[in-house]
Amino acid sequence: MENNSVNVNVELNMETLQAGEITHTKIVEPGKFTKIGKSMYLRFDESLDNNDKASILVKVGDDGEIHLKRVAKSTNLASLLYFTHKKHNSGHLQTEYGVLPLGTFTNDSVVEVINKPLSGKINIDYDLIYDNNIVGNYKFRLIFSA
């Protein structure tokens, strides 16, 4: 898989609305873009406190479904979320205490990739759902370029 990987610069901006409070997160990191068949993979790390890192993998399937996997070994947290335009999906959060089932509803999603020079964006607006309740509204804005 690494043989056809391209080094890219990744910028991820997240806006979260939870309990009436908006928070912003910005991640700027080097990453790798890989295409296998019609699926695309984007890997990068998120720098955490105490020089720790979380590994992030974004997969865009040939059907347009987006998978978002985040693993932070230092905090024993791993999440896997799925996004399909205007649909509900099931995912989960793995904690040291067990697995929490999480759902998403994708209000909007856009994936654009330009091959020469390689660049693109992945935008997802979604609701995060736990136990049939919306626990937050998220705006995920990722851009990358070689």
The whole model's pTM is what?
0.92
For the segment 43-100, what is each residue's pLDDT rounded down to a tens digit? 999 988 878 899 999 999 989 899 999 999 888 899 999 999 999 999 999 999 999 9
What is the full DSSP assignment across 42-63?
A: EEEEEE-GGG-EEEEEEEE-TT
**Residue 88: predicted pLDDT:** 97
Domains in the chain and their CATH numbers?
2-145 (2.40.128.20)
CB of 122 closer than 8 Å to CB of 58: yes
Measured from the Cβ of residue 122, the count of other Cβ atoms closer than 10 Å reads 22
